[in-house]
Amino acid sequence: MPKILTIAALQLLDSSKRILLVRKSGTRMFMQPGGKLEPDESPLSAVLREVHEELGLVFGPDDVVPAGVWIGPAANEADTDIHAHLFAAQTDCTPVVQAEIAEMLWIDPAAALRRTDIAPLLREKVLPGLLGP
């Protein structure tokens, strides 16, 4: 039985409807900014904290919108599933790579879906939702 990690992730779009993806140090898959919840931390508090730690962006609770929950395989950890609390926001601020982030990119959702280095959460849930039916 796989290990389960509870995470919070942010679907961050700019005014051109590009999505921000990050790759954490020591990994090869791009994903949304976010991460694991601390003990007794709410998903909303976790996503706000993680985005600040990883990208230097400050969002308030009213700046992000709940976008559902997804359960599926972790991108970078074997025999592990994630229980992902998704949030959405928009910004035209310039993020700054910090903490464990090795690389970031703004990318059109259709172009992201064609890549082979996209995390399952993005490939199966987030990007198809942005592209519509």
Which domains, and CATH codes, for the chain?
A: 3-128 (3.90.79.10)
DSSP string, 34-91: EEEPPTT--HHHHHHHHHHHHH-----GGG-EEEEEEEEE-SSSTTEEEEEEEEEEE-
User: How many whole angstroms separate alpha carbon 42 and alpha carbon 49?
Assistant: 11
What tens digit of pLDDT does each residue of 15-74 get? 999 999 999 999 999 999 999 999 999 999 999 999 999 999 999 999 999 999 999 888
Check: CB of residue 49 under 8 Å from CB of residue 32: no
Neighbours of 96 (CB within 10 A): 11
**CA distances to 41, 82, 116 from 37, in Å:** 6, 11, 27
Check: CB of residue 64 under 8 Å from CB of residue 32: no
Which whole number is the average pLDDT over 91-118? 95
What tens digit of pLDDT does each residue of 63-97 get? 999 999 999 888 888 888 889 999 999 999 999 99
Question: What's the pTM value of the predicted model, to 2 decimals?
Answer: 0.92
